[in-house]
Structure 1
Amino acid sequence: MSTKNAYEEIDEAQEDHYQTSGRIELPASTDVKLSENDKQFEHIEMVGVARRSLDVVTEPIVKNERLVENVFGKLKLTNWSMFGTNDDETNPIRGYASQPVLPLSKACDPLKEILYELSRYVDLALQETPEQPPDGLTVDESAAIRLYTIEWDAPHRSLYSMLNSNLKKANREDLLPYSKYLKLFISALAKLPCIPSLTVWRGVTKDLTADFPPGTRVTWWSFSSCTTEMTVLENNMYLGREGDRTLFSVEAINGRSIRDHSHFVTEDEIILLPGTHMIVQSQLSPASNLYIIHLKQVKPDNELLELPFEGAHLFPEEIHPWYWKKRFTIPILLLVLVIIAGIVLGAVLGTRTTSTITLKPCNNPLQSFDYITIGRHPSSVVLGHFRNNTYMDAAITVTDENDVIILLGDPVDILRTSKIATGVLPMFIIAADFNNDTIQDLAFVNNGDDTVTIALGVGNGLFPEKKTYSVGTSPSCLLSADFNKDKKLDLVIVSQDTNTVDVLLGDGLGGVKASTNNSVGYFPSIIISADFNHDSNLDLAVTNTFDNTLSVLLGNGDGTFQTHVTYSTGSSPISLLSADFNSDNNLDIAVTNSKNSSISILLGMQNGTFHQQVMFVTGSYPVSIGAADFNNDNNTDLVVVNGEEDTVSTLFGSGDGSFHTQIKYATGDNPVYLTVGDFNNDGSTDLAVLNNGDATASMFFGQANGTLTFIQAYSTGNSPVLFAVADFNSDSKLDFAVVEQSDSTISVLLGRGRGVFQIALNYTVGSNPSSIISVDLNNDNKQDLVTVSTNGSTISILYGHGDGFFNSPVNLTVGSSPTAAISMDLNKDGYMDLAVADKGENTVCILLNNGNKTFYTFLNYTVGDWPSSLIASDFNSDGKIDLAVTSKEENIVSVILNKGDNTFYSAINYTVGKSPSCVVSADLNKDSHADLIVTNYGQNTISILFNDGTATFHTAKTFTVGRYPVSVVAVDFNNDQCMDLAVANSGSNSASILLGNCDGTFLPQVKYTSGIVPTGLASGDLNNDQRPDLIVTNGKSNDAYIFLNTCAN
């Protein structure tokens, strides 16, 4: 057995395996003995911030590369041993503070024999540090933090790895070579502000629950890198979804955010200092092999880490308010003030009604992007008024199908389509009036047969007459303008294989009378026209993709142009536009550089020449660009299509030629082109994006603050069907739980506000769950969950902790094939009871709650064949909660009235549409009676049954919705005090919104595209803006879509 210090034993094992293995493991012969007072842990694989890492796969780490995308803001995996003590405060970290504050290079001198090529990494850290670092740090202090974050080239251990290894050792003498660096490093961290108290996370691929019983005191002696996100659960490179996993939830009180001083500027990392002292609060296991340990940091009784300098604060300062010294007299004064205030407020408020915030009504509450199928390989789009001047239309070239698709704007159907046959491989399209009849025409180039086609419009959305002309080889782009000042539109075409720009002078009748060509750079791609030199003649600018240049051709005013002048751009420029970005009244040019993920801004001068480019970062492979003032600050902003990452980026202009604050939005697959315009006549600039990969167009609707409202999709398990919305972690933000039928699991997604959610945490429930509700069953003010398992003949109850986590399920057997459940206090005893529909026995089962996590009196009531959904409400205004149940096979809804003695009357049946799938209750006509709304799956309708107040319902009225409706909610979406309806249409991959008129009638439905096969929906205020939003689960695409409400307050 080894007699070495346990810390040394583990670290030597790490050293031996680091050279040969991607994963560190202790040799089987290693026997670590712990002292009686020390709580020592085996080697464990830690997941913290994903950067400083020993590899977890068998491939070596490459410097500056991320092992996992989209986790903690692109962080990498950290893998080291973490050790704690049982309330051991006898070995603090001291001595380093007496060292002088030295420049970083001098502070690292004692380590040059220990760390491989340390001088090179010190130089790198200093080079990356700005002359005036943030937070008031000196260059050497900021560089000291940056050096800590740098990953050494494999197989050499990094500074952070060696430093933390020695911090964990009981022998503090091993820290002596690091003392000068520690002085500089900890001094820098102490100058950073303490983050406000918050929960941070670390994970371990091991079950550590036995080592962390509640009440245990634990000290982490090394620097601990953490994150504020739980997304370690998302990727197999982190905790993954299999094997033992422990997630530490730490209530930190003195963490430091080092993002502004990190080698990796995109990372959001919180560092906990050595000597972080914590108490284990609780444990739970929310899913198989997943363990949550809740730690709360406390200020230790004794000093565990010496202050780096006099006056330093390692913990938040205790600021006593002005009344601290008068704390004995203040309560009396407060009591007097409260009494006086009570009298005054009582007099004032007693004469008025309760004040509430009033929201203005609006007609289009939910905005999102929409998908429109258009054909294979859409390549360009142009907007115009092809039919009338009220609604914007669009024309799209569909290259692989030799078509132009016309999308005609329509207030109800959104867009309707028609087609125009083209030449071979149409590539680019424009709209203009070529025959001076005030009706918009179209022109497009055909890349496959080297022609250009002019299609003349007749004003009804049709283009019956076409004229075709030969141009250069492989035409790719064109534009129209009057280049010879004869008041007739001309055409300019880019021909890629001949490296020319062809000019076709128009005859004013929709045809061409003459043509010339002009040489430009290698493989021209996109062209624009403007007056760059203020001579009233139109000039040209064209991107040359293969020689990384921009060609500018100044116009002579007669249809001819001067020899082109070239300007350098980034790699592979393929798109451009012109606008005045710096408010000097000279036109500037913006170019997308596809191969180095940037845009080039060339600021123009009065004589038509341009300054050298200034580059700004975009997403991956920018291919198209647009400009508009998206945020109404009178500065021109840019929007860019990022082809390789399926996003668009908005970059806000500063008014001086620079851009800032890139915001990205998801698009369809492989977006290739965009255009901007006000598509919905609301005064804000909208955006349309063509997606080549999935042959769709994404529509984004602009907001006054420059944002684009869109659907956010969150991945769930397989076959999500229904979900519950509530505040599961008591943070005043709505969360939601999704039941996943194929996986027999539920996913809990905790809300972060602003309509954003954390990655799902999964729990296993009964077989084939089909329904879920959220309710407080044991009166502990914490939301619990109930799922219905159709194949398992059970319901599963998961009692909540109030922090977003739940106990393992308690299963109760009910019926033979339960389908749905609701919860209400049916017998007025103060506890929420359960009612379960059972399609196997055609009954509703009543479970009365004892209040101690048990239920009694299983009462069964017969209903129609195959009960599919049920709802609880007081239908006859007697103060007792009644039930209504849909029966899918008999096309009825059954109303079951409550007697008030723990029993119910026999069901009363009402006819509805074919195959009713869901029922809800709401007052639709403002008569204070609960009406019924039923979705009819087999009829593509909803049925409305109006209540006369005695639980007698009138004959159902039907309203058309989408195909195969499966779920409905009743909410006032547009703030007009009338109930509206939202319906999930599983057969048409959409949600229908029907705005109510307060009299039981509704406006025609408006459809919003969802994921594939929507299965359920719910509504709630997801971003705390006092407007109801909408969530839709999608069974086949395994996700949930978020629709944010954009009605103006």
Structure 2
Amino acid sequence: MYSTGSSSSISIVIGDLNSDNRSDIAFINNDTSTIGIMLGYDEFFPIQMTYATGTSPYSVAVGDLNHDTRLDIVVANRGSNTVGVLLGYGNGSFADQMTYSTDSWPLSVAVGDFNNDNHLDIVVANYYGNNVSILLGYGDGFFENQTTFSTDSGPQAVAVGDFNSDTHLDIVVANADGNTVSVLLGYGDGSFANQTTYATGKWPGSIALGDFNNDAQLDIVVDNYGDNAISVLFGYGNGFFANQTKYSTGSSPIALAVGDFNNDNQLDIVVVNRDGNTVSVLLGYGNGSFANQTTYSTGSRPLSVAVGDFNNDTQLDIVVANRGGNTVSILLGYDNGSFANQTTYSTGSNPIAVAVGDFNNDTRPDLVVANLNEKTVGVLLRYDRGALEDKITFAPTYGSRLRNFALFDFNNDSLLDIAVVNYGTNNIGVLLGYGNGTFGNQMVLSTGLNSHPYSITIHDFNRDGQADIAVANYDTKNLVTFLGSGNGTFENQERYGVDFDFAPLIIGANSFNKDGRSEIFVAYDGIDYVDVLVTYDIGSFSNHIKYSTGNWPRCVALGDFNNDTQLDIVIANRYDNTVSILLGYGNGSFANRMTYSTGSNPWSLAVGDFNNDTRLDIVVANLGGNTVSILLGYGNGSFANQTTYSTGSNPKCVAIGDFNNDTLLDIVVTNTGGSTVSTLLGYGNGSFENQTTYSTGYEPWPVTVGDFNNDTRLDIVVANFGVNTISILLGYGNGSFANQMTYSTGAAPGSVAVGDFNNDTLLDIAVANFGDNTVSILLGHGDGSFANQTKYSTGSGPSSVAIDDFNNDNRLDIVVTNWNNNSISIFLGYGNGVFTKQMTYVTGTSPSSVAVGNFNNDNQLDIVAANAEDGSVSVYLGYPNEGFLKQMRLITGNGSRPKSYAIGDFNNDGQIDIAVANSGTNNISIFLRHDNGSFGNQMAYATDSSPWSVAVGDFNNDTILDIVVANLGSDNVGVFLGRGN
């Protein structure tokens, strides 16, 4: 256990905060409003396992001696004049040694294939025998008896390599008493030529090989114990070597190894200085020369050295066997050739030699140590068990009352940064990391007045490849998003759909259905369910651009009146007795208006080709003249003078369609004064029959058409302003209609539109109810009948309604003009007949009518609204924009009080599932995600008292996710092992 220094540490996250490839821990201390950081380091080799050897084991080497792909150990037993072979099982354990006789006092051992039979053989340097022993391997872990070859006096170390480029291994021996090295060239059959000797310094005791001058030939380096130096002998590639070049070391150099410690592709040398209790590192220049030594402390009386990457950072590290301290020292390397201070691990008594290999096939380097006095070799397996340094604390600001935080790389420098939630100061702070475990001053981002932010999550909410932040505000019950720029700065973005009914306690983000859109799940304080919100293109609109019309524009419609493939606008001006034409440029802007006379008090209009000349014409309902006006278009944006046809009393609204299936357009008009509708059948030449009238409800206003009973014949729907109903008149297909059927609406229905809102291929109806500030949705049954209305709140005085798909999700949406508060409302459809809450945009004064089209050819729908009292139309250009829509609700049970969540694929179906810790019911809920993006009902599993936090991981290495729960009430953790289903 590690102390946090706080009695109230409330949140914890894990990440690599100092870029050392080790996990660190950060946590919040609630009582002191500080962040605590504990930097992780690896306790690499916590426990050694020992295996019996002969007397005084003095040197070790490793290799696969029996072709089982598992490393084995060879040890030179000085006191018993043998070599011991310990075959590995591949799990870090070894069989008992098998011994083979050597000559007197074997001090060094190495392995190689000396007779080219693809089996490893052994070579041993025998100090008192003045020779080397060759033991040829059979490839099954057994060896022939030794054959000896003479060396100079006192051979103490041996190494193998191909010195004459003949593909046969050769041997080089350091002769301590002769102050020479012996080179024995191999014939490739297990025998060797007589030695050739080269002078060294005094008492050479260790030897290593490498290409130090980049000539592709092996060179030799030996340490000279007696004169505190190393000797480098450059190879010519023909089996001969140049005279030595010497470099100073520390006191009594006794062992060495080579490697590239500074990643410059040049070999460097590390030397053990016995009496100085140090290692010397000499960085190579690649031309055979070396920089002056740099020394690093080791344990007491270091005698052996090896190299390997012990912390998986791709940098070579150093391991030293310390005879006087009964330890090995690990010095972790930096990429510039320098090393960290040593970390020591216990060995047996008098460790005299060390070697590196992966003995348990976990891809991590392990150690084998020869313990001289114990007659054993010790194996230290690398476990990466992990430990923590003392904490570092950061105090954001006074009164911050930290509640939560998250780690992420916000500025793309590959270093982790911190985002903290400051409940007390109504903001979040972003602290950019320096990569050494320290952080810069926090950058403060406001979450709103009295917001009291509580929870935080990180995701790419706008799909720009940069990390964004979402924060749940406890007191204002909403969500704030901060869009990241990728350089550590953020922009606060107002987003639709982020207001909650309850105080949010926990939020998290992921893309559960793999569509690239972020989803946020929210758990509320004291509420027994979790909501899932999906980021969505909400089809936002620019600020409106206004264009002048005539006096009191009452209705607006769209069409291409000059055949340039660009949408134009036509407006009925009630008090001017005109229509205005605004030709579109195709970039979202429009020309000044052209006007044409109509009858008295034009209230409504519609657009169609009434004379079959492929040019759009206009029909206008004249409230004051009891007529409709027909203006035939010339196809260049201009129109002929009107022709009028009589209607009933006070015609208010007009619609068109082919009511008698003759492929010619007809007209239907609502007569407010007579509570009827008039149909005028078209002749196809721009003229029409006299009207036929049908009864409706009281004060019929709006009218539109559609096939409500799927008989391929157009029907009529009329909203009856005076009696709060709609009338359905089913068509017979011959121009006549059945008597009305009525359905209730809201108060004073003033506009109507039709479309398929629930994707069942059946037409539904939307009604704007001016009197009670709602829009009614009536879903169609496909037989001409409709379900009871469902109402959604609008702005004040909804006067007009239109439908289309504003966010390109293939689901119909609704737009409503609000007369009394000068706005339009957008309702996005879910495609099941249900709609979101409204989004509003400002209009001109008293918006009376709305139409939808693409004015700037950008694949986004735009909106135009007629503003009655200021003589204008407002144009809104659409653009894609991400917001949040409530997608589903996950029920956790009565009194469950969810406190924490975790995510993972619990049933191995490739879908991300959710686990929730329910503190009130002492269980966890599992919600499995289906392929269609929905979640199944909860599966509950009992825990101990008051589960407060949950996490997931594979705890038993069966590739199936498991769950761990922290139980606050019972002071324990519970583990649920997953079954993969």
TM-score normalised by the chain length of structure 1: 0.34
More helix by share: 1
- For the pair shown, the structure with the greater C-alpha radius of gyration is 2
More strand by share: 2
